[in-house]
Amino acid sequence: MARVAAPPKSHAHDHERQDVPSDVALRVMSLESLLIEKGIVDKAALDALIDTYEHKIGPRNGARVVARAWSDPSYRERLLGDATAAIAELGFKGMQGEHMVVVENTPTVHNLVVCTLCSCYPWPVLGLPPVWYKSSPYRARAVLDPRGVLREFGVNLSEDVEVRVWDSTAEIRYLVLPQRPTGTEHLNEEQLAMLVTRDSMVGVARELSSRAQERA
């Protein structure tokens, strides 16, 4: 059995920090330039599409959902009861988010999301899935050895913490509601949202720090 299902957290984001574009990124840039030059793709439309995924669709949306649940007990109750409707209250709905379920981490329960058949993912609140989420090793081992996968992401759980694995499908998609970090009582909703990472909403991260500002 392969030892590594997905890169550890310290490696998972290397591609986001590198200064020199990767070979794939360079090929994409070249293809984009060629399509624009030949008039096949409209640059303004492409820029609008990129802006949509960077600023209107993605983990920022999910972070707002989590922060609202942390701040508003009645919203949290609605979110856990009917996630699709509660998420739509904040304006996040549409393709790949038609039927959402939110599962809550507690001191004794940790939730992990996977899609064993393909890469079903809640686009309206998390954007496009990361490469590791779509990989066959992650999809297989998240079910067979969830604690091992979590350790590779730096999450070491004691035996008294139950791990629940949720398998997303084309009909239903899951979002993890992380535990609110201690010492954040003074933060407003916007500040709380800055603490939430994509990985914590998938379940491959657990502890969030009141000092954390990095967004996945």
71 is catalytic: no
- What 3-state class would DSSP assign to 164? strand
- H or E segment at 149? helix 146-152
Catalytic residue list contains 168: no
Q: Which of 22, 30, 33, 118 is catalytic?
A: 118
CA–CA separation, 211 and 34 (whole Å) = 44
Active-site choice (115, 136, 158, 200): 115
The answer to whether the CB of 195 falls within 8 A of the CB of 181 is yes
In three-state secondary structure terms, 214 is coil
User: Rounded to whole angstroms, how far apart are CA atoms 40 and 159?
Assistant: 56
| C-alpha to C-alpha distance for 166 and 114, rounded to whole angstroms | 6
Report the C-alpha gap between 101 and 208 in whole angstroms: 22
71, 119, 135, 210: which one is catalytic?
119
Residue 57 CB partners (closer than 8 Å, separation 6+): 123, 124, 127
- Residues 87, 189, 62, 173: is their CA dihedral positive or negative? negative
Q: Which of 133, 99, 130 is nearest to 116 (CA)?
A: 133
Cα angle 33-38-39, degrees, rounded to a multiple of 5:
100
Q: Is position 74 annotated as part of the catalytic site?
A: no
Q: Which residues are catalytic?
A: 115, 118-120
